[in-house]
Amino acid sequence: MPVVVAAARMVTARVRVLTVRHARRDTLPPFRGGAHTLLTLPDGTRRAYSIASDPARAEAWDIAVLREGHGSTILHELPVGARLHATHPQHGFGVADGAARHVMVAGGIGITPFLSMLPALADVTLHFCARSAAEAPLLAEARALAGDRLVTWFGARRLDLAALFADAAPGTHAYCCGPARMLAAFRDATAHWPDEAVHSETFLGLAPEAAAAGEAFTVRLARSGEVLAVPANRSLLAVLREAGIAPEASCEGGACGTCTVQVLAGTVLHRDLCLSAAKRSRVMMACVSRGAGELVLDL
Ligand code: FES
């Protein structure tokens, strides 16, 4: 969809919120809380961003952009009135059906998907972690939505994830969105929880050099029988692209869940930040994960 930047404001020293509208219509497509969109930037790269506004507000979406690399710099410098392309909402993360209670943990810019989830929820606690209140993006919005259900953890006041998730109460679902270190700690803290009660999202994946590095391996394509070599300094995604059969990709750092490939056989060395343990038994993220020896892919 063509969208236009209708307004922009800095909400912290490093986070800019863009308000986008459809370029030709009065409303944008409906979405459920937690959804994200893939923006195509003026240089052709695509980046995933949570829609941080209330799903009931159909005329515009708020998208918060942390300045942390090439794509985000473009969005920080984009003038009001500029045009972009946005996909229809993608729903990989959101409020779990049938959950009675929700415990959410946001780290910094990771607050964004929760802002669109909160309006639909009654029994929820949102833990918001940041270096300081000044560096906590959209804090006022989180306060307005969550009220006394918001618990802030700034500076030296640290959230103990292991203690928070020590008890896996039936009906309670755990959610986390934040940087890789927080997600790893969240995964450890909820390792004893049922897989379907644990949800995480991040758009901050591995750096490009780290995403491409590892041991060489091969992939056999089940549909054509072709065998492709993935050298030590390239990602599976890059090799599949060269062969003209790559899946869609966005973050290229193992974070967004876009570049899924079905695995039929072989040992996968998973390095993503987005797949649950159950999904890891069937699929891999081509941008960061690798194989030990040969993998057979459903391609
Ligand atoms: S492109 Fe985002 S996980 Fe691979």
b or e along 168-200 (b: 16 or more beta carbons within 10 Å of the residue's beta carbon)? eeeebbbbbbbbbebbebbbebbeebeeebbbb
- Does ligand 1 lie within 6 Å of residue 185's CB atom? no
Q: What percentage of the chain has pLDDT greater than the value 90?
A: 75
- Does ligand 1 lie within 6 Å of residue 204's CB atom? no
- Does ligand 1 lie within 6 Å of residue 256's CB atom? yes
Please write the tens of the pLDDT for every residue from 172-190: 999 999 988 898 899 899 9
Distance in Å, CA 250 to ligand 1 centroid? 5
Mean pLDDT of 284-293: 95
Given this model, what pLDDT does residue 53 score? Answer: 96
Q: Which pLDDT band, with edges at 50, 70 and 90, does 155 fall under?
A: very high
Considering the chain, what is the average pLDDT of its residues? Answer: 92
- Does ligand 1 lie within 6 Å of residue 8's CB atom? no
8 Å CB contact between 286 and 246:
yes
- Does ligand 1 lie within 6 Å of residue 284's CB atom? no
pLDDT higher than threshold 80 for residue 193: yes
Atom in ligand 1 nearest the alpha carbon of residue 286:
4
Ramachandran angles phi, psi of 151, nearest 5°: -120, 125
Given this model, what pLDDT does residue 157 score? Answer: 94
pLDDT higher than threshold 80 for residue 203: no
Atom in ligand 1 nearest the alpha carbon of residue 288:
4
Q: What percentage of the chain has pLDDT greater than the value 70?
A: 97
**pLDDT greater at residue 71 or residue 131:** 131
- Does ligand 1 lie within 6 Å of residue 252's CB atom? yes
Q: Give one word for 72, left, alpha or beta, with left for phi > 0 and alpha for psi -120 to 50.
A: alpha
How far is Cα 189 from Cα 193, in angstroms, rounded to an integer?
Answer: 9
**pLDDT greater at residue 54 or residue 42:** 54
Given this model, what pLDDT does residue 249 score? Answer: 85
pLDDT higher than threshold 80 for residue 259: yes
Given this model, what pLDDT does residue 7 score? Answer: 98
Distance in Å, CA 203 to ligand 1 centroid? 9
What the chain holds in terms of domains, given with CATH numbers, is 2-86 (2.40.30.10), 101-201 (3.40.50.80), 208-297 (3.10.20.30)
Read out DSSP for 190-250? TTTS-GGGEEEE-S----HHHHH-S--EEEEETTT--EEEE-TTS-HHHHHHHTT-PPP-S
